[in-house]
Structure 1
Amino acid sequence: MKIQAMLAAIALTASAPACAQVADLAWLSGEWMSDAGGVWTEERWSIPRGGMMLGTSLSVKADKVLEFEFLRIETDRYGKPTYVAQPRGGSPVYFPLIRMESGSATFENPKHDFPQRITYIRDGQALTATISLMDGSNAISWTFNQR
């Protein structure tokens, strides 16, 4: 049992970006807005300071709040950037950074029910956020424009 746990930890560490820092995600900073199908969604991210970025997400339709979430990206105890989500202000759910390239980042937590994967891709003044299961199924995406 201990060997399986060690192998899983090694596999997770091996797939993570070698020297990624929270500061490397500065491209996510800003105010991002989407208006699709009558649902207005905004996501805001602070610039990285002290190894942390703070974020919020709010979705509204016809002046009724559908969803809100408190977010942060922080360094975990292993020194890896980790996305922390608190839907509706609830208990934190942790998604370690698994992949990062110029203007894109993927965070995963295979033990969470949904989502298990969170991906951000920035293309100029547009930001696409996608949540899904580990295999990419049940994907939901939002395309935001920078405000």
Structure 2
Amino acid sequence: MRIMAAVLAGLLVAASPAARVDDLGWLAGDWVREDGERWTEESWTAPRGGVMLGVSRSGRGEALREFEFIRIAAGEDGAISYIAMPQGGAPVAFALVRHDTASATFENPAHDYPQRIVYARDGDTLTATISAIDGSKPRRWTYRRR
């Protein structure tokens, strides 16, 4: 019986369709976090052509402190990655390791920090968390839909 259950579980995993960028469409939109004079904005396009494009910027008052260009796209092998370009620098890729209808986890254990990026949406609230691969050193932003 256990062997049969294991075979069925394996078949279900094998029959599961590969993730597509369209599966992350719930992330699309304009998101904002404000805390006194500090602010962070993140905007994502809807999936189109197998790509989502994003931009993030943070500041205090009228001063920009940091920005990032981001994209979510499939590589030649079909695997989905989150590709970040902090301050417009060299791209750093994080592989999609888990997702469902309202969350996605991307990881790159070889990167210094962060190594894990998690997005989770609950209605008009989006939470972004970065951390080390083991979940330590978390930094979290909670956005509301603009």
TM-score over 0.5 (shorter chain): yes
Matched AA of 2:125: A
Matched, 1:109 2:102: no
1:8-66 Cα deviation digits (max 9, x unpaired): xxxxxx9xx85100000000000000012531100000000000000000001021111
Query: Which residue pairs with 1:10 in the alignment?
Result: none
Query: Which residue pairs with 1:143 in the alignment?
Result: 142
Shift of 1:102: 1.8
Matched, 1:28 2:39: no
Secondary structure in structure 2 of the residue aligned to 1:26 = helix
Aligned 1:74-89 pairs, distance under 5 A: 74-89=73-88
Secondary structure in structure 2 of the residue aligned to 1:78 = coil
**Bigger Rg over Cα:** 2
Query: Which residue pairs with 2:55 in the alignment?
Result: 56
Aligned CA distance change for structure 1 residues 59 and 95 (closer, same or farther; 3 Å): same
Residue-pair matches, total: 132
Question: What TM-score comes out, normalization by structure 2 length?
Answer: 0.87
1:113-133 Cα deviation digits (max 9, x unpaired): 000000000000000000000
Question: What TM-score comes out, normalization by structure 1 length?
Answer: 0.86
Q: Distance in 2 between matches of 1:135 and 1:18?
A: 28
1:63-88 Cα deviation digits (max 9, x unpaired): 11111000000101220110000000
Secondary structure in structure 2 of the residue aligned to 1:137 = coil
Q: Distance in 1 between matches of 2:138 and 2:67?
A: 19
Q: Distance in 2 between matches of 1:28 and 1:35?
A: 19
Q: Distance in 2 between matches of 1:19 and 1:64?
A: 42
Query: Which residue pairs with 1:7 in the alignment?
Result: none
Query: Which residue pairs with 1:42 in the alignment?
Result: 41
Query: Which residue pairs with 1:123 in the alignment?
Result: 122
Secondary structure in structure 2 of the residue aligned to 1:102 = coil
Secondary structure in structure 2 of the residue aligned to 1:24 = helix
Q: Distance in 2 between matches of 1:56 and 1:104?
A: 19
Matched AA of 1:145: R
Secondary structure in structure 2 of the residue aligned to 1:107 = strand
- Give the percent of matched residue pairs that are identical in Structure 1 and Structure 2: 52
